[in-house]
Amino acid sequence: MPNSFLDSFQLVIGLYLLYVAIKGSGQMYRFMDLAEEDQQRVQRPLRLLYALGAVLALAEFGLCALQNSMFTRTVTEEGVQITQNFTLEGLPFLSYGLLSSISSFLSLGVVALLAGIFLWLRRLSDKKKKR
């Protein structure tokens, strides 16, 4: 995702998840109609999951920033031309495609993690309703 707006959005998501993980309270910890004892029980796993999401989002932002500075994309009549501006001495295998793939994987990881948290809490809430 070499779009600077999307990169900035990923940075905001990462910083917010880090803030929520450090704070340990707030609306990100209160879902659906969970009982108070369940909310206390899921607080620690949620903090860990939010911290993991923050790390993934910030790593994705860093990779996109590296990709945007390391490669230049120009549109020509033949298509998109990608020019490598520099190489990293210890990492000569880094290519545009590799960085794009890793970035996409990390973005999907953040989305999957947040969706998984929602589904987990929803399932926990549904179990409590049935009792």
13 burial level (CB within 10 Å; 0-12, 13-18, 19+): buried
pTM of the model: 0.84
Tens-digit pLDDT profile for residues 41-61: 888 999 999 999 999 999 999
**Mean pLDDT, rounded, of the chain:** 86
In the chain, where are the structural domains located?
A: 4-130
Q: Which two tokens stand for residue 104?
A: 């996409």
